[in-house]
Structure 1
Amino acid sequence: MSVVYVFVGALVAVLLWLVAGVVRIGAVSRGARVEGRDGEALVLIDLQSVFWNEGPYSEADKQAVATVILEEVQAAKAKGIPVIALRQEWSLPATKVIARLTMKGQAIAGSSGTELAAPFAGIADYELVKRVQDGFETGALDALLAELNVGALRIVGLDYNYCVAKTSLGAVRRGYDVTLVERGVLAGQDTAKTRADLQGQGIALA
């Protein structure tokens, strides 16, 4: 009987560990409030090969969104606005397991396809790796934006309901002026609820 108890206890511990990993993936972080910054940055989220080429997006949608994103990049560079690309790499032990179980193992750190997709290769001034949906979670984006004196963000990329939404919420919690360029964002599912939630948090939709 003791062996059964040990087995059940171990199973429960593993399940709790995985649940904690799921919660961490979707959590929105908090950070120091932004004050007195007048700079702007364009943030590209998860425009990497594995998601762009193998995600649930039609070719027509990708072509339309790529056109908008490249226009946004061109406009930003013309104004001297930095372009920051965030790339997803699942590197935490629990998230790597979850990615293998539910995401076909896509974007696990060290795997193929984590580089920016061909239409976006080489266009970013800065590239940062994120570990969960919220691009602010590691603190690296906070530090870079502080260094660049950025107080306003324009956001494009994928996926609307997940990494785009969570990073946008992480930004607005810190006091950034956030504009989500909807024509430059891909979504695999309906976005009505997410859209309403973001607007309710003061995020501008362009």
Structure 2
Amino acid sequence: MSLVGYVVIFLVGIGILLALFLRHVGKKMYTSTKGEIIKKYENPRKALLVIDVQEGITGRMALKPYKDTEEKIKMINKVIQHASDTGVEVVYIRHAFKDSFIYRMLTRGRLIEGHPGVEIDSRIKVISENNFTKNISDAFSNVDLDKFLITNQVNELYLVGLDAVYCVYYTAIGALNRGYKVNVIEEAILTHKTQEEVAKLYQKSGIKLSSSKTLTEKEIY
């Protein structure tokens, strides 16, 4: 066999190994967690989770902008303001990978811990210091979030942000696994999928897609 033939075989082998590794990384990243079922609180509270609206994903460093990002962020800010006005805990979730070659390659460095891309999108209204990072899709993978919600006796969650079929979705599953009532606010989630695809996925998984009216008792467009 010629040298070119060996080189081709080597490159094909590397490609297969890389594909298998990325598949393994994807399975590990896109998953939901399980935890203890929350207690029945005497005075239960609500919390709003603002998920992954970051400079490296929706902001100035985004590689693949989401459709209607500006309008969605305006809606997210309205929901945040209403939550603040009505005593609902507002919690910010950010995705941040530990530094490694593979994650630098996958995200072009913009979601590596310490990179400006990890910071909350500058257009988002920040009204609390409740800020938690995660390195897989389900925000409950950060045990500090679990502890915070339990300490504050939260039993109902409202989810906004992105991506509707990834981090919002898997965080919703993680919350349901723990006994939370979960409302994903349809007007305030971002995704590259169609509305029909999102609705089908959520219906299949038992996740409730809600209007902003669920939180505000009136539409807040």
Q: TM-score range by the shorter chain?
A: 0.7 to 0.9
What is the aligned partner in structure 2 of residue 80 from structure 1?
87
Aligned partners of 1:199, 1:126: CA distance in 2, in Å? 30
| 1:131-146 paired onto structure 2 within 5 Å | 131-146=135-150
Question: Which AA in structure 2 matches 1:116?
Answer: I
Question: Which AA in structure 1 matches 2:48?
Answer: L
Tell me the alpha carbon deviations over residues 175-206 of structure 1, each in whole angstroms, 9 at most, x when there is no partner: 11000001101112335334323233332212
What is the aligned partner in structure 1 of residue 45 from structure 2?
39
Correspondence 1:119 to 2:123: yes
Correspondence 1:20 to 2:24: yes
CA deviation after TM superposition for structure 1 residue 34, in Å: 1.7
Aligned partners of 2:146, 2:99: CA distance in 1, in Å? 20
**Alignment length, in residue pairs?**
195
Give the direction of change, closer, same or farther, for the CA distance of 1:162–1:30 in structure 2 (3 Å limit).
same
Which of 125, 144, 154 aligns to 1:150? It is: 154
| 1:1-206 paired onto structure 2 within 5 Å | 18-37=22-41, 38-53=44-59, 54=62, 55-58=64-67, 61-91=68-98, 97=102, 99-120=103-124, 122-206=126-210
TM-score under structure 2 length normalisation: 0.78
What is the aligned partner in structure 1 of residue 219 from structure 2?
none
What is the aligned partner in structure 1 of residue 215 from structure 2?
none
Task: Please identify the structure whose Cα radius of gyration is greater.
Answer: 2
CA deviation after TM superposition for structure 1 residue 174, in Å: 1.2
CA deviation after TM superposition for structure 1 residue 162, in Å: 1.0
Aligned partners of 2:90, 2:152: CA distance in 1, in Å? 11
Aligned partners of 1:145, 1:48: CA distance in 2, in Å? 22
Give the direction of change, closer, same or farther, for the CA distance of 1:24–1:89 in structure 2 (3 Å limit).
same
- Preserved contact between residue 89 and residue 114 of structure 1 (Cα < 8 Å): yes
Question: Which AA in structure 2 matches 1:50?
Answer: G
SS of 1:136's equivalent?
Answer: helix
Structure 2 residues without counterparts, runs of 5 or longer: 1-9, 211-221
Identity of aligned residues (%): 28
Aligned partners of 1:67, 1:39: CA distance in 2, in Å? 25
Aligned partners of 2:84, 2:203: CA distance in 1, in Å? 27
- Preserved contact between residue 172 and residue 201 of structure 1 (Cα < 8 Å): no
- Preserved contact between residue 165 and residue 194 of structure 1 (Cα < 8 Å): no
SS of 1:50's equivalent?
Answer: coil
Give the direction of change, closer, same or farther, for the CA distance of 1:162–1:168 in structure 2 (3 Å limit).
same
Aligned partners of 1:196, 1:14: CA distance in 2, in Å? 32
Question: Which AA in structure 1 matches 2:162?
Answer: L
Give the direction of change, closer, same or farther, for the CA distance of 1:191–1:26 in structure 2 (3 Å limit).
farther
- Preserved contact between residue 161 and residue 191 of structure 1 (Cα < 8 Å): no
Aligned partners of 2:177, 2:199: CA distance in 1, in Å? 17
Which stretch shifts more, 125-134 or 102-111?
Answer: 102-111
TM-score under structure 1 length normalisation: 0.83
Aligned partners of 2:164, 2:123: CA distance in 1, in Å? 19
Structure 1 residues without counterparts, runs of 5 or longer: 1-6
CA deviation after TM superposition for structure 1 residue 157, in Å: 0.4
